Amino acid sequence: MTDRVSRRLDGRRALVTGASRGIGAAAAERLAAEGADVAITARTLDAHDHLPGALTATAERLVRHGATGATVVADLTDEVDRARIVPEAVERLGGPLDILVNNAAAAIYQPLAEMSAKRRRLMFEANVQAPLDLAQAVIPAMRAAGAGWIVNVSSRAARPWDGPPFELGANGTVIAAYGASKAALNRITNGLAAELHGTGIRVNTVEPRAAVRTEGADALVGSSVPSDKFESLDEMVEATVALCDCPEDVTGQAFVSLDLIADWCLTVHGLDGTPR
């Protein structure tokens, strides 16, 4: 086994959303370690009011790997604001995008019987409309190049509960609206892949088997999820990055991170690209 980084993404350009912390920041760093130039986007450039991490901190890590890094501050829930993300990323990276990772998400946990229309709209705007808008923005250049990779980060919450009786777990039904938005994202991913099959553009989703220990997950679920149900950030990123470099016939699928790693016999690497 070698401890050298493969640099398999040399010459490619990527955009990662929700990259100020968590899975997005980690995926952006790993893409940079593998040789890609990476544009990152989130709502705030510097520190968040309640959570650690910032676009500026992620950008500094990209540069350490020798990548060109570009930051685009935008609100994905605003249709006009998010329309600038891809054009600005292309301009700042110096060319069209080869990879799009739609990681950003709005997760509002509340019983369905109490959730306002405003909150439902916000989640679907961030989790469904924004990923599709960004995909539509990158598709023309990917189609012209004959290749492209779109990876949408989904969630176990997209799966319906069997029942009755229903075994809801510690959080009850509060994840149902969020899960519905992710189920919609899975279906759009599959449909988009079917439309684009034969163009060289791969479109897939990846989700953790249960949960990934990130700042956001800690804030949302805290101790309600047993520690043995969490997978490492490195594992989730390994599966995500694998789909950023998958063969043309791998498209339209919804992958579970740990299953993909096992099925493809992948070695899990750190964010610097070296084997753990």
The number of domains in the chain is 1
Q: Are 257 and 209 in contact (CB under 8 A)?
A: yes
Residue 109 is among the residues annotated as catalytic for this protein: no
| CATH code, domain with 244 | 3.40.50.720
The verdict on residue 175 lying in a domain is yes
- Full domain range(s) for residue 25: 13-263
pLDDT score recorded for residue 50:
62
The verdict on residue 4 lying in a domain is no
The verdict on residue 273 lying in a domain is no
* pLDDT tens profile 27-83: 999 999 999 999 999 998 986 656 667 999 999 999 999 999 999 999 999 999 999
The values of phi and psi at residue 151, to 5°, are -120, 120
The verdict on residue 3 lying in a domain is no
Mean pLDDT computed over 144-150: 98
The verdict on residue 5 lying in a domain is no
Given 149, 178, 230, 255, which residue is catalytic? 178
Within 10 angstroms of residue 165's Cβ, the number of other Cβ atoms is 7
The verdict on residue 119 lying in a domain is yes
Mean pLDDT computed over 20-28: 97
The verdict on residue 54 lying in a domain is yes
Beta strands in the chain (DSSP E): 13-17, 37-42, 69-73, 99-102, 148-153, 201-207, 211-212, 230-231, 254-256
Token representation of residue 183: 């189920």
Q: Does residue 207 surpass a pLDDT of 70?
A: yes
**Coil/strand/helix, residue 40:** strand
The values of phi and psi at residue 270, to 5°, are -75, 175
- Predicted confidence band at 4 (pLDDT cuts at 50, 70, 90)? low
The verdict on residue 274 lying in a domain is no
